[in-house]
Amino acid sequence: MEDILKNMDEEKRDRIINSAIDEFAKYPYAKASTNNIVENAGISKGLLFHYFGNKKDLYEKLSRFVLNKLSDEIMANIDWDQTDILERIKQLAIFKMKLGEKYPTMFEFIIKILAEKKTQSIESVIELYEEYGVDIQKLLGDVYARNIDFSMFRDQASIDKSLNIIRWTLEKYAEEMLVQVSSLDKRDYEKIGSDMDVYIDVLRKAFY
């Protein structure tokens, strides 16, 4: 997507991308309107189709863009030397907030992609990501296991369940913060991180 629009200034490029993401996030593919996309992006329909050909090509290129953008940014921004899963998940949660700041309806669109493609099992989700060039199994394996010191867990027999509770707690907190501060021009990520540390201390005492 960025390669297609590489000769365009960044502000205009992001405006087009976000307008398209927002439209496909709000409506099923059949009801999504290219008229709305060009109106909200402030461009002509001719320019949109010059870059993308038609609505179907736009949707497919946009789907590939968001799935690969998420994967690439995670791989580039996670501190892989961090061995504490609590800190790793905190990094992931804050990073997703920052990505959501640039592309506000990106995650809603990803949910819509999964729904449009009728992914009803883990296998079908994996196949969908593979279709767009993302190895989601490896990505999640890296995020939640690569260089992590699982010996810190007190109950070695329940690590998987403990991880679920930790992930649900921290990622849900980040989602709520994303909604609460969505109207701010600039989020105070340092404060958000400090607030998350309070929950991390509780989780560390519970599981380590």
* Contact (CB, 8 A) for 65 and 1: yes
What is the pLDDT at residue 186? 62
Examine the pLDDT at 176 and tell me if it is beyond 60.
Answer: yes
Q: Is the pLDDT of residue 182 over 70?
A: no
Q: How far apart are CA 81 and CA 207, in angstroms?
A: 21
For 28-89, the DSSP string reads -GGG--HHHHHHHHT--HHHHHHHHSSHHHHHHHHHHHHHHHHHHHHHHHS-TT---HHHHH
Q: How many CB atoms are closer than 10 A to CB 155?
A: 10
Return the residue matching tokens 């790793």: 88
Average pLDDT over residues 198-204: 95
Domains, the chain: 10-207 (1.10.357.10)
Give the CA angle between residues 43, 187, 183 to the nearest 5°.
Answer: 55
Both ends of the chain: CA-CA distance in Å?
43
The Cα 188–Cα 85 span in angstroms is 23
Mean pLDDT of the chain: 89
Tell me the pTM: 0.86
Above 60 in pLDDT, residue 48? yes
82: Cβ contacts below 8 Å, ≥ 6 apart = 88, 91, 147
The two structure tokens encoding residue 90: 């905190």
Task: State the Cα–Cα distance between residues 154 and 158, nearest whole angstrom.
Answer: 9
Q: What is the pLDDT of residues 112-145, one digit of tens each?
A: 998 887 777 888 889 989 999 999 999 999 999 9
* Tokens 């109207």, residue located: 183
